[in-house]
Structure 1
């Protein structure tokens, strides 16, 4: 059994969330292992104080290259004996090598980039059924011959933080709907008038479905979009929390929501991770690889030949997102109200790898 394990997954919030079930599986099998995680500041709040993580080793690229040397020195000093490189890139491979761990796992050449595989002692091949990234990360546990386990994310806020998060929505009428505004790619973002149409379509009870009180969620970069949505809503009541919440606040807020909707984004994955049904909207990216765990049946994709293009900026004005009709989103949200995660308690069948 490895005694000291390093997870290397530095950046994207959604990727870090989807890797947490791998960590839970390791903890179940090896409860006494020391687990470190190399991560960048934007995803650090998700892992801070997490019950499965013993040590966070943070690399702040804003201060590169000066911050890289002390970061690598810390990696080396921890004397890890197993590294699981989930990142696929040259940088993460170099981090893995610097650790000098005798066992270093990474994705196989066909599934990695920038010659990442050259730094590993063992390669994990993505099998045909592993389209979702979460399952690709689980393959590392399979390669370690760990017992199959339920998919869990392990989010628990300390009481003071949980109270603060829930306090932000304490006065909001129930049931409440999280409106996820932003994404790291502009090509994924839904239009303010479309968001407002969805909110209006769900604000009042219809055919047995309750009216939903909208809570607008986003960071400082989404404040302009939130203001545009609020202007479109006019007399429809809504709570605008854009720019007022931290990533950790969202854990408590989504736990209070009956449902949420929004584009492919880290908060979308976070909503699913805390068990909030989430309707996901897909334009430039594809749910086949990145649908939120347990709620893939609530994904809505654009019907356009260029989908998915994986472009951060759309050359044709986000036509893919424009073709996602508010009516379709409204109907899917209503269906989501009666949906529980279809896979969150399912035990994974292990795919064994030759040793």
Structure 2
């Protein structure tokens, strides 16, 4: 079998995209497009532990090759040996760093496709046998990854993420919110960069502004979501809420649990983060808040119109720590967030079925 003008169809394919949760999520539509075009291909993915849960038992992935850099450098050689032993004939380097380029080369694959030199870092482009077309810097990352499929002359395909939890996992995930009033709002608290995080008093003001039904929009029951590092922020939000009841799940759920939880939410709101992209991937409307980064490049797929940026001259700065106290995030008015959430609910009214109206209670 041949691939148009590109020669034989590759039988064993490796995707190299190791770290960021949001990046891995946005690469899944590329994987789906490959699987549609080449249903019999064996597809491996080189990944780090923090993103591995997203790909575990994924129906489009045959093999996960996990590199745990906490045990570096001793873990790197066995990892490379595993890559080499798989005898891949095509590698797609989506990471564009020195390490991913080295992994691509050491795989022994004759076909190694990477980003163009102007889009690469740390001389990554030197390890690729062929490059995709140069990408505009501010193009959505999901579309940049799709350019790999274009370079392989694959047919166009719908944007799909392919998330499916096994019944037992799905039941566990939805069990976290089984007793919560509907409709629910997922409140994403944290981000890997401190410069992206919204303030607890602002989050609480958004929650209070949406707790009561207004002009046909139902009241929303807030579910606070985050990892162990977000517990302090969750407590600060709960302390600000006064008489509004909320479900605090910060630090209690896994990344895979969020797949089922977001499927139960009418809407989600939060900063640029992996969970933001995960919510969008399962079809939950996301109102995203932007400080140091830009929605032009990273808005959640399908919901770019719900992005809100803090407009100051230095936005976007792409600094992990803000030297001026996250002024861009402070410029995002809670009322603007409230209004945008209501607009999202009106546009996706089917997700608010079973609205219970006022979700204010005397306790927390």
Matched with 1:314 is 322
Instruction: Measure, in 1, the Cα distance between the counterparts of 2:159 and 2:137.
Output: 17
Q: Secondary structure at the match of 2:78?
A: helix
| Matching residue within 220, 228, 236 for 1:228 | 236
Matched with 1:86 is 94
Matched with 1:183 is 191
Q: Secondary structure at the match of 1:125?
A: coil
Q: CA deviation at 1:280?
A: 0.3
Instruction: Measure, in 2, the Cα distance between the counterparts of 1:259 and 1:338.
Output: 11
Instruction: Measure, in 1, the Cα distance between the counterparts of 2:274 and 2:95.
Output: 16
Q: Secondary structure at the match of 1:337?
A: helix
Q: CA deviation at 1:126?
A: 3.2
| 2:69 is aligned with 1:73 | no
Q: CA deviation at 1:128?
A: 4.4
Q: Secondary structure at the match of 1:230?
A: helix
| TM-score when normalising by structure 2 | 0.93
| TM-score when normalising by structure 1 | 0.95
| 2:161 is aligned with 1:153 | yes
- Structure 2 counterparts to residues 161-200 of structure 1, below 5 A: 161-200=169-208
Stretch of structure 1 that moved more, 265-274 or 122-131:
122-131
Asked whether the equivalents of residues 193 and 321 of structure 2 are also in contact (C-alpha less than 8 Å), the reply is yes
Please tell me the root mean square deviation across aligned C-alpha atoms, in Å: 1.1
Instruction: Measure, in 2, the Cα distance between the counterparts of 1:17 and 1:238.
Output: 28
Instruction: Measure, in 1, the Cα distance between the counterparts of 2:138 and 2:314.
Output: 24
Q: Secondary structure at the match of 2:289?
A: strand
Structure 2 unaligned segments of length 5 or more: list them. Answer: 1-8, 349-364
Q: CA deviation at 1:130?
A: 7.2
Matched with 1:5 is 13
Matched with 1:212 is 220
| Matching residue within 268, 288, 296 for 1:288 | 296
Instruction: Measure, in 2, the Cα distance between the counterparts of 1:126 and 1:257.
Output: 38
Q: Which contiguous aligned blocks of 4+ residues in structure 1 show a shift greater than 3 angstroms?
A: 126-130
Instruction: Measure, in 2, the Cα distance between the counterparts of 1:61 and 1:127.
Output: 29
Q: CA deviation at 1:105?
A: 0.3
Stretch of structure 1 that moved more, 124-133 or 200-209:
124-133
- Structure 2 counterparts to residues 82-161 of structure 1, below 5 A: 82-128=90-136, 131-161=139-169
Q: CA deviation at 1:234?
A: 1.5
Q: CA deviation at 1:339?
A: 3.1
